[in-house]
Chains A and B, each alone.
Chain A
Amino acid sequence: MSKAQSYQISVPQEKIDALKNKLAQTEFPDELAASGWDLGAPLADVKRLTKAWENWDWRQAEERLNKVPQYTTPINVDGFHELNIHFVWQRSEVKNAIPLLFVHGWPGSFLEVVPILPLLAAPGGPAFHIVAPSLPNFGFSSGVKTRGFGAKQYAETCHKLMLSLGYNEYVTQGGDWGFYITRAIGFFYPSHCRASHINMLRAHPPAFFKHPILTLQHKIAPYTQKERDGFARTGWFGKEGQGYLIEQATKPQTLAYALNDSPVALLAWIYEKLHDWTDSYAWTDDEILTWISIYTFSTAGPGAAHRIYYEFMHPGSNSVTREDLQRWIPNVKLGLAYNPRELSVLPKSWCRTLGPVVFESFNETGGHFYATEKPSFLARDLRTMFGKGGGAFKVVKGKSGYDRTPRAYPAKL
């Protein structure tokens, strides 16, 4: 029996007032002349956004978010205290709708699912029951008070959430941490997680003994121009874009002091990624400030979310490593979305080593925040992959995405 309770976001007024008070007292650094985005988030942008945030109406954003059906439910993860998990839950009228778990990443949140909700509910494709949690330490889910909450625990949280809602078998969609967590779910719960669609693809080159055919294909066919561009993009991220990750994965507590204490610190830290990681996506101020405010007003506080980096990079002995999740996982059917401005843009021959691939989409445009930048592409991917004739059609027992409808045969004359 589900213990899920209806939930509406309601940030206490003191928090909003305190934020505005701090914003009004922001001290800005200087900037090197004409440096643009070279050294990080430009001063003019950050000043403008700081002022905008000071005058911005959180309540209208809150109201908009609250139009989306949200719930909370208690989840017990082995070895940890009980966590209150916040999630979006859009149920379909179609009885045989496919349970779909959507897992966000950093610096994203549950709200990334919102653009695809109406698209997946539209007629003409398989129906889904959509569950999009705030991960523990993010959004409006509990913070985790003790150490060691890593890949296994995030997977367990999400899996138990689905079970608690009556979904014994389900499929997943994820990018960024959603990639790693949905992979971990497939790793630990292969008889429950039947298929995964992923949009940030981390994989290794095929090795002969494991993937003889892929290896030969890899050796025979030269990389395409797109794949070479992908290496350049991946290389750029490794050289210029990973500082945040290394700091978060090694000294998360040191970083937490600034992110928790200074709204502009958090703003710059996140806004830089919204710019760098997308394919010329035209963020509105409303979007930017909503994304960042979810961190500011999160239950665990803005200093907690990035602990996930530390925990994943320092896995305990009985957990799973990042490398495990970047290698073949059997039994979970895979859908891969290739986006040219993603952070890791690797050749098909590499990505196909992740598991049994039943769907691929090769997009001409789009970056890291797939659901935000290209909701129609993502909806198309899911409806094709799981719809009639798709590679993962009927992958969940008894949940085809379609109720029985009379077959539309022409009447016999």
Chain B
Amino acid sequence: MSSPSPFEISIPSSELQRLHQKLALTDFPDEVSDISSNWSRGVPLSEIKRLIHYWQNSFDWRAAEARLNTFPQFTTAIEVEGFGVYDVHFIHQKSAVENAIPLMFLHGWPGSFVEVTKMLPELLKGGEEGEGPAFDVVAPSLIDFGFSAASKKESFNADQHAEACHKLMLSLGYSEYVIQAGDLGHLIARFIALKYGPKHCKATHLNSALPAEPTATSHPELYAELEKIPLDKAEIAGLMRTKIFSEEGNGYLRIQSTKPQTIGYSLTDSPVGLLAWIYEKMHGWSDNYPWSDDEILTWVSIYYFSTAGPSASSYLYYENEHRNPSAFAAMQVYINVPLGIASFEKDVIVLPKAWNRTLGPIVFESVYERGGHFAAWERPDAIVHDLKGMFGKEREGYWTRLSNRRKNEVDWVRGTLS
């Protein structure tokens, strides 16, 4: 097995020039002048104009690139059965602490590997009394995203993504590991747990759980239990948010999962089109997070300059939906790999906590009032807190026991709210 090659992001000047040529030619639509809720129909014109102006005149991609390159990055060749060999790009940072826990962080859409970077310093630290465990951190760009290769073939599904991510960990010498993920990353984490747990994937911590609703036929005991307990205020509010998402907020999903090629022309040829598509969700899915223009344009640029191109990031949505059963349905089964679930009140889909018990043995649970969909970016403190808590010494060497895990052993620990 070949070892990983060090990698630095270095976008050719010609690409930067082409981008600037396009920005200079941007044609703006108008907008209806009297809407009360500014974001109700999508990104307001004033926001887009401001950002395009900034992108054209002030945003310094080379500085953003340099900032990203302060994190140790690599690429390595990973073979995916039936599909081929893919160059996978990833951050890999080892803790100075011996016996640090191997942790893989999986991003989603419209995020990227960059979402791990706020947590890195804290995750690498630890091991001392009262400090919580330390982690070795691996954060790939999913294939078709960031600086990993393009999948190039139909049917490259969550199964294949899971295989690639698992093999990445093996290639780095981590036969056993844990995962933290949200959004699409959480879907892939579930597939990894299903295929490679608990032997290799020892546990997963997820911040966007999508359990199926327990029914009298699917989960009779749980259903009977839940019938006796009314939903609390927070859970009702969560269901309302979920309803709004399904009625007003999932157009992107419906298009990306049916006609990704058609929308791909927009995302590839029009920087303002790509900006609006992504920024609408960065804004809509976060909890009053004060995105700086630099953050917004860095996130969007990672898509714009991605190896596979911005169109490719929609393919996984298409493949998920056209899998039989769909990837979402397939991962709503009980997977006997320890599960930690963080729920952020301002996430887009917030389902009743008890439903999570259909997903697997829950060993850690937390609920946060502040924070939305991009948990690792908006609340890195919360995710770090959860990971340290879930795998920490306070739990009597839980990690050691996980490594030698006996079946049917389930612990229950309730995390503290903050």
Q: List residues of A whose CB falls within 8 A of some B CB.
A: 21-22, 25-35, 38-43, 46, 143-147, 239-244, 246-262, 264-265, 267-269, 272, 300-304, 307, 310
Residue from A30, A46, A143, A264 having most chain B Cβ neighbours under 10 A: A30
B210 CB contacts on chain A under 8 angstroms: none
Within 8 A of A (CB), among B274-291: 274-277, 280
Complex interface bits, B22-62 against A, C-beta within 8 A gives 1, otherwise 0: 10011111111111000001111100100000000000000
Cβ of B253 to closest chain A Cβ, rounded Å: 8
Cβ of A240 to closest chain B Cβ, rounded Å: 5
Check B258 for interface membership: any CB of A closer than 8 A: yes
The answer to whether A260 and B27 touch across the interface, beta carbons within 8 angstroms, is yes
Contact of B27 among A38, A42, A249, A261 (CB under 8 A): A261
Report if A46-B309 is in contact (Cβ < 8 Å); known contacts: A253-B43, A257-B43: no
- Roughly how many angstroms separate A144 CA and B280 CA in the complex, as a whole number? 24
Cβ of B325 to closest chain A Cβ, rounded Å: 14
The answer to whether A26 and B269 touch across the interface, beta carbons within 8 angstroms, is yes
Report if A29-B251 is in contact (Cβ < 8 Å); known contacts: A145-B33, A301-B30: no
The answer to whether A303 and B29 touch across the interface, beta carbons within 8 angstroms, is yes
- Roughly how many angstroms separate A261 CA and B275 CA in the complex, as a whole number? 12
Q: List residues of B whose CB falls within 8 A of some A CB.
A: 18, 21-22, 25-35, 41-45, 48, 150-154, 247-252, 254-270, 272-277, 280, 308-312, 315, 318
Closest to B276 in A: A257
B29 CB contacts on chain A under 8 angstroms: 253, 256-257, 259-260, 301-304
Which 7 residue pairs of A and B lie closest in terms of their CB atoms, listed nearest first? A258-B273, A303-B29, A254-B42, A40-B262, A253-B42, A247-B251, A29-B311
Report if A257-B34 is in contact (Cβ < 8 Å); known contacts: A250-B249, A262-B265, A262-B269: no
- Roughly how many angstroms separate A41 CA and B43 CA in the complex, as a whole number? 26
B275 CB contacts on chain A under 8 angstroms: 257
A242 CB contacts on chain B under 8 angstroms: 254, 258
- Roughly how many angstroms separate A196 CA and B151 CA in the complex, as a whole number? 51
Contact of A265 among B33, B44, B265, B308 (CB under 8 A): B265
Closest to B21 in A: A25
Contact of B154 among A34, A239, A260, A302 (CB under 8 A): A34
Contact of B261 among A34, A41, A252, A265 (CB under 8 A): A41
The answer to whether A39 and B318 touch across the interface, beta carbons within 8 angstroms, is yes
A33 CB contacts on chain B under 8 angstroms: 152-154
Contact of A29 among B153, B250, B265 (CB under 8 A): B265
Closest to A239 in B: B258
Contact of A257 among B48, B251, B311 (CB under 8 A): B48
B35 CB contacts on chain A under 8 angstroms: 147
- Roughly how many angstroms separate A15 CA and B267 CA in the complex, as a whole number? 23
- Roughly how many angstroms separate A29 CA and B259 CA in the complex, as a whole number? 14
Report if A265-B280 is in contact (Cβ < 8 Å); known contacts: A41-B261, A144-B32: no
